[in-house]
Amino acid sequence: MFRRWFKKKSSRTIAKDRLRVLLISDRVDCSPEMMEMMKNDIIKVISKYMEINEKEMDLHISQSVTIDKKGYSASICANVPIKTLRGKHAELSKTRAGQKPSCP
């Protein structure tokens, strides 16, 4: 009993979690190619201002609770690790760079 609760997720929960993720990408209708293109464009934009770790960058569509907390909506979540800030912008965005990049 305890083993089932703590070690193994029930197949019901697995199904529900998989569907949640799957339906979001179905609804948004976003192909992997499009995601890749979007990712490259984001890298281009951010690279103008700071040096980022492109290899560890992660972009995905996920589900988040809507503001009224009644339902779920899709959101794009980008996790962009920063290496160093570039020259003149460094001072300007010092505070922001101090924060760890995270998803909502």
Partner 1 sequence: MSEVIVITSGKGGVGKTTTTANLGAGLAQLGEKVVLIDTDIGLRNLDVVMGLENRIVYHLVDVIEENCRLKQALIRDKRYPNLFLLPSAQTRDKSAVTPEQMTRLIDKLRLDFDYILLDCPAGIEQGFQNAIAGADRAFIVTTPEVSAIRDADRIIGLLDTFGMRKYDLIINRVRMDMVRRGDMMSIDDVVDILSIDLIGVIPDDEHIVVSTNQGEPVVGNGTVAGQAFSNICGRILGQDIPFLDLVGKRSFFVRFTGLLKRS
Cβ proximity to partner 1, 14 vs 34, nearer residue: 14
Q: Which long-range contacts (CB under 8 A, 24 or more apart) does 30-33 make?
A: 30/61
Cβ proximity to partner 1, 16 vs 86, nearer residue: 16
CB of 15 vs partner 1, minimal distance in Å: 5
Tally the residues of the chain: 104
CB of 10 vs partner 1, minimal distance in Å: 3
Cβ proximity to partner 1, 27 vs 83, nearer residue: 27
Q: Are 72 and 93 in contact (CB under 8 A)?
A: no
CB of 19 vs partner 1, minimal distance in Å: 5
For partner 1, the binding residues (CB under 8 A) are: 4, 10-13, 15-16, 18-20, 22-23, 26-27, 71-72
